[in-house]
Every structure is written in structure tokens, then in C-alpha cells.
Structure 1
């Protein structure tokens, strides 16, 4: 058997019952009873092992997919609800109170993950924007993002920062702009 070099890093178990391996930018699940605890992650070319007090609490095959989750179902029992009061129906209902497009957008985000708990932070970030910018702008941003089929907090923030939520239709976005008058601009008649 070929020897594999192993590396070790410290991490804290997130409220999603996962640890973040920063080298790969990937999340691995651990039993939820370790939430908030400091653990050691020992990883090799093929495996990831998570230890608490010199006792292995989780083992995974190493996955190099960035910003993805590797989850063992037993680590997240169905009776467990992330942050107790957070659940998919609460986020969908909150989205509905903002507007129909926000509700659809939040639903899509929750559907994208194998375990909805992994989407709660994103949903919370998006829905919290309504306090800062208002329901109308957030709902319009969600409408535009649905059209792009991009489901993230970064997408909503980008739309808001660029003012794309204020555009009423795509025609306004592609409207031809007139060139300013300047002595170095020859115009179309020059070439006839």
C-alpha cells in the first residue's frame, strides 16, 4: 500500500452541522451534537476524517467540488431543525410576505440543496435585505434573478447594486444610447 501524506487543520462545527475544509472550499458533515465545538480535520489525497478529543466522529471521501456539501444523513436527523425556529416553510412564508417572485426565488434556493438546512444562511441573507431596501425592490431583484436562473445572495446583491431591479422591461436595458457631440467623432455621414 502506498503511503499518503496527511494534513491537519482546526475548525469549528457550523450550525449547519458541517465543518469547512478551507483548502478545498468544501463542507463535510459531522453529528449535530458537535455544533459549536472545535474539531481537528485530518485529510489525505482521498479521505477526510474529523476528530473531537482524539476520537473520530466522522469519515468522508474527499471531494474537490468548491462550495458544495458532503452530508451523511445520520448526522442530520429529521427531528433536528436548524436554529430551532428555522425551517423551509418559515422561509417560504417570509418570502411570500415580500412578494410572489421572492417566494419563488426562496423556494428555488431551498430545492437546490439535498438538505434544506444548507440553504438557510442564504435565505436569511436575502430576506433580511427587505429591511434595508424594502419589499418592492427585493421582489423585483428576485424576479430578475429568476430570469437569470442564478440562485444566490451574491446575485441579488449584484442586481441591487447595479440598479437592475428598477428596470421595468428588458427593452429599457438594451436601449441604444446616443453618442455625445465631440469634434473627434465623425458620425455616419463621414463615410458616405
Structure 2
């Protein structure tokens, strides 16, 4: 070309002229080798066929072809290139969120015991903009994993269409190449927020390379800067992690004129689906039988919850969150209770049978109210009985007496009964049998005796009192 012709070439063209690349690709033998390469690969896939045999067959047909060392070298290079098959993927905004736990842990010190408590680090990143979120949680259990995922969605301010986790138990019950079984709690969360779960390949999880790269950057930009700091609570640790996370997202990326945060707000923020009005609360499930006392038993809390007594003996499904317990029988919701942890019973009056309710609701006021509804005299007698109770005598001591007195009111004439109540109250006779004896005595007396009007006593030799012996 001459010096003038070379100076007229653009730099890339001139560079290519000066450096044509691998000379092997200018060799005429390479063209024939590449044409035969699919046959070489097919032969090597057969049993007992070696590279030596393939080369010998090649040399027999092409005596001027590559010698053994060159043939083996070019064959190995092309086989490596075929296995790689990598390409730059285009990620749609708002489509995928990759989540994982970092392999290394962070820790804080218990201020009371001085114990060093290790925690797990949850990391997530949006595929399109590589916008990251980090949160430390106590463990990789389902509750902590779903809590961290919920916080991530709140951090992003929206919901992606797909969440891509690793095959950890908190997300995947049974790993499978084609149709994995998703953890029921994870599935419920997806239904609540409107995303689907597509786990990575169980054997070769190459899909999560984005979050793996993010984890490596988190090691350099967060872990390394926290190694000489001491924390005394998980909240304090997370505050420090969040400060460094913001700095990481606001750091300009290499070979790009913007930060992850700028890219997220410009491209992906508006592509995310709107968060639901209420956050997700993890649900758990339990299959139980309604016991003879009309309650179901939640073993993890060691607590009993009531259901309608007509369902005794039926199989029930309990679905419970951190705050609520719902009981279902044959697909119908039959009870809702506030969750209580610790041994005990939670019962609703409408679930109990009438006889059970009458027994459990007994009290002094209960019996006073019942008596007042049928007889003012009986009400006064029962009030006097409870008022006269000794300090160490509980109200329950008189419940059966009250039941007997109410039964007597139904069995006897009201005029005799009310007068008997007045007599018993005047003389502090607070037993059912004494009340019944007074009623019978009044009934045995003839009307001429006028017992019901209580006349003044006449002088009689058998009458007591000093007035009769003056």
C-alpha cells in the first residue's frame, strides 16, 4: 500500500493488517479440519474410540493434514469452545429477581452473655439492573428466608414476575430438573404478591451467576469494611450493612456512565408490579382431629382452640400465621382465633354446647341474675349467702346450693317459696335442704294457723323466754 496508503486506513483496519490473528486460521489445512470437525466429535462420542484412532483415520484420508500434536491441539480447542456456548443475555425490566444466601456469615455479640452469634446474609439482585439488596437474618429457615424476601420487595418498592432462588429447603421441598416441588409457604407468598418461583437447575445452577457475582461484590464492599467493627444486636448490624449497601448501589459501575441505583430508577422501577396493601404473613399448616372437648390442639404452641361442638370427631385443617389461627372442616372455615403461645384453652361461647356453657359461665353474678329473673326473695337470699361467705371460702362452694334453690323455685308454689326464702334470710339459713324444710313446714300448716302472716306468739307453758315466767 505504501506509506500514504497505510496512513489513510482507520486504526482498527490498520491494526488488523499488522496483526492478522492466529496464523493457524490462515492455513489451508484449518478449513478442511473445521469441515470435518462434526465427524470427529461424532466419532469421539462412540464407545472405545480415542483421539489417536480419529487422527489415524484423518491422516489416512489426508496425508498432508495436521500431524498428531497439532491435530490434538486444535481438536481440544474446538471442543472447549463448543462446551462453553456462552452469550450475553438480555434481561427484561421487572422480570426476574435472583435470591441467595452468602456462603460466609457475619456476626454480632450478645451484650448480656458476650457470646458471638453468627447470622446468615440474604442477598438479592434484579436481573436487568443488578440493583442489590442485603439483609442479615438469624438463619436460613423458611420464616427468616421469607421475611428477608418480603423486606427485599419492600426495598425495591414493587414485585417482579419471577423469583429465582437456589434449591434451599426454605424455597424448594423437592428439587427436580423439570418440575420442582415448591415449598408451600413460598408458594403462598407468590400467590399473595403475584410472582412465580422458578428455582435454578439443581445440578448446574448457572442461572444464578448474577447473584453469585453480587455476593462477591458484597464480600468486598460490605464484609471487608465491617471486619474491624463490633455489633451488639442484629438491628445494629443491619443498619451498618444497609449504609454500605446504599454506597454500593450508588457507586458508578465499571465501563458504564451510571450507578445501579440510577439504572434501576430509570429502567426497572416502573416495570415492577405494585405491592399489595398488606404484607405477607407466613402460613403454616396442621391436620388434626376435633377432640371430645370441642377443641383442636396446635402442638407447636401447646394450645387448644375451640370449634363448634357439633364437629367433635371430624378431621380439621389448621392454617396459622404469627398472629391468627384459622380452622377449616370439609373446606369451610369454622373458627378464627388470635394465636396464643403456651399451654391453655381459647374458647368462644358460640362454639360450646348449652350445658357446657352453663357450667363454664357460672359465677356469683350469674346465679344472682338467674334468681332475680324468677324471684326477688330468692335473689335476696342468694346475695346474702355470697355476702356471708368466709374469706377463705371460694364462690364455687355455693354453686350447687344455688342450683338446688333454683330447682326448688320451679317445684314449689311461689307464695310458700318466697316466704321460705325470707325466713331463711332472716335466720341465715344458707343451704338448699334447710330452704326445702322451711317450704314443707309452711305447706303442712293449715290456713287457720295463719303461718304465712307470722302472728305474735301466745302465752304457752312450752314457750321459751323470760317474758313468759314473770
Q: TM-score, normalised by structure 2?
A: 0.19
Q: TM-score, normalised by structure 1?
A: 0.43
Between Structure 1 and Structure 2, the one with more helix by share is 2
Q: Which has the larger radius of gyration?
A: 2
